[in-house]
Amino acid sequence: MSFIRTQVGNGVGEIILDRPKALNALDQTMIDDMHEVLGRWGDDDSIETVLVTSASDRAFCAGGDIRAIRDHAVAHEYDEIKNYFASEYRLDQMIAHYPKAYVALIDGV
């Protein structure tokens, strides 16, 4: 299950982080889904701006899901940890070089 929702309107593609119990900490599925959505929107001429928001009034995004990383470490699933960080940094690079305006509305953590 992904904890992101998307909507598009008036030239704006919005990604809504919706994992309030974990302060929107990014898990592997969220990272993969954001990468896929941003890739699609980057090629979509009808979208001029990407807006990232939170469904929670408590937190924007706590960062990476360190609980999942810890669980993988305890289970000696080191490839999962390596894959997580590789995916996370790929997403960071995509955002840093995104061809359209990318705006994060941050309130809270």
Q: Report which residue type is found at 62.
A: A
pLDDT at 11 over 80: yes
Instruction: Go through the domains of the chain in sequence order and give each one's CATH number.
Output: 4-104 (3.90.226.10)
Strand bridging mode 12-17 / 4-9: antiparallel
Cα(28)–Cα(81) distance, rounded to whole angstroms? Answer: 10
Neighbours of 49 (CB within 10 A): 14
Q: What is the DSSP letter of 75?
A: T
Mean residue pLDDT of the chain comes to 96
pLDDT at 108 over 80: no
- Record the tokens describing residue 29, joined without a space: 């599925």
DSSP-H helix ranges across the chain: 28-42, 66-74, 78-96
Per-residue pLDDT reduced to its tens digit, 63-86:
999 999 999 999 999 999 999 999
Which carries the bigger pLDDT value, residue 28 or residue 108?
A: 28
Please give the share of the chain, as a percent, with pLDDT higher than 70: 97
pLDDT at 51 over 80: yes
